[in-house]
Homo-oligomer: A and B are copies of this chain.
Amino acid sequence: MPAAISLKECRALAFDALSHAGVSHANAEAVADHITRAEADGCKSHGLFRLPGYVASVNSGAADPQAEPEIVDAAPGLVAVDARRGFAPLAIARGRGALADKAHEQGIACMTIRNSFNFAALWPDIEPLAEAGLVAFTFVNSQSFMAPAGGTEALFGTNPMAFACPRGGGRAPMVFDQASAAMARGEIQIAARDGHTVPAGTGLGSDGQPTTDPAAILAGVQLPFGGYKGSSIALMVELMTGGLSGGFFGYESAADHKRDGGPSNGAQSFIAIDPGRLAGPEFFAHVEALFERLLANGEARLPGDRRLAARARTAEEGITVEDALYTTLQGLAGRV
């Protein structure tokens, strides 16, 4: 039977587990906050489920649990962050204020992050920028799991990107967050565990041949969504992360990885734009008109609407944690 806990308890459990593993107060707070935001939005694959991986990367010596990110003011519109092999959430939290300030001052700004162990959902990284009235992008790579279109060997991470648009009238921003891979790695793992096949186009076996066997794909490579177009997006994400930050590309991240079950040393970038400086205050009403038409169009949905519905629900009801995971986490937190 799953454990029912409040979001406050979720945050405390994550903080305690990280602290018990030797993670600094600032890093533990940033990661616990990120995990709690994923749980609040109903995204269990990036919530408490990730906590043992963070701890594993500390125990293996891969990530530095005491890392203090270095924030460099690289240009009037640029912030360059070196996470110093720490976890991504602290590096992002430390740099995001400068990014937002520059975007408001200059109209647009960019922040790169390198040497960052990222294991988290992306939308919480840019939602605060959109809450501050900014249109925002973020791109992140990871150890390579995916071949380019036409290829047979892992070169790219699953390489998600997220995009956020602020909304007027106190509405939560529209944020989408999607991998460049045809299917999330976690979903392939679940299909393998449950003995299901996956759709054609999900990946190749280690022989380089297309397969619908999830176990064969996990031993082989994933493929991008949408054929060569998704592959171009994945390449763009590599260039906007490992390229622009001077950090690792996906294949470099894979070579660095300790196979500890934790996150890899990846790179990330952000772009934030002040739409009011270009489109004026009418921007918000104009965007709402588009969204209204979208919602009136057949069964079309606004990206993120399920997350926001979950957020309203979990604020009242809290969350549930699968029993075996809860026991593991209690152990990691030193509570047993």
Nearest-neighbor residue (CB-CB) of A282 within chain B: B246
Task: Name the B residues within 8 Å of A238 (CB-CB).
Answer: 290
Indicate which residue in B106, B109, B287, B289 contacts A239 across the interface (CB closer than 8 Å).
B287
Interface residue? A334 (CB, 8 A): no
Contacts of A105 in B (CB 8 A): 76
**Residue A169 CB within 8 A of the other chain:** no
The A110-145 residues at the B interface (CB cut-off 8 A) are: 110, 112, 135
Contact residue among B155, B243, B297 (Cβ-Cβ distance under 8 Å from A148):
B297
Which residues of chain A in 63-80 are interfacial with respect to chain B, using CB atoms and an 8 Å cutoff?
74-78, 80
CA A66 to CA B19, docked complex, whole Å:
67
A222 at the interface (CB under 8 A from B): no
A:168-217 near B, CB below 8 Å: 176, 178, 208
User: Which residues in window 53-95 of A have CB below 8 A to B?
Assistant: 74-78, 80
User: What B residues does A229 contact at CB under 8 A?
Assistant: 178, 225-226, 230
A274 on interface, CB distance cutoff 8 Å: yes
Interface 1/0 per residue, A232-246 and B, CB below 8 Å: 110110111011111
Cβ of A316 < 8 Å from any Cβ of B?
Answer: no
Question: Quick one: copies of this chain in the complex?
Answer: 2
Interface of chain A residues 223 through 262 with chain B (CB within 8 A): 225-233, 235-236, 238-240, 242-246, 249, 251
Instruction: Please give the number of chain A residues whose Cβ is less than 8 angstroms from any Cβ of chain B in the complex.
Output: 70
Which of B230, B243, B251 is within 8 Å of A279, CB to CB?
A: B243
Q: Does A219 contact B (CB under 8 A)?
A: no
**A:283-327 near B, CB below 8 Å:** 283, 286-287, 289-290, 293-294, 297-301, 303
Known A80-B278, A290-B242; judge A297-B236 contact (CB<8 A). Answer: no
The answer, yes or no, to whether A29 is at the interface (CB within 8 Å) is no
Assembled-state Cα–Cα distance A74/B108 (Å): 11
In the docked arrangement, what's the CA distance between A201 and B325, Å?
Answer: 40
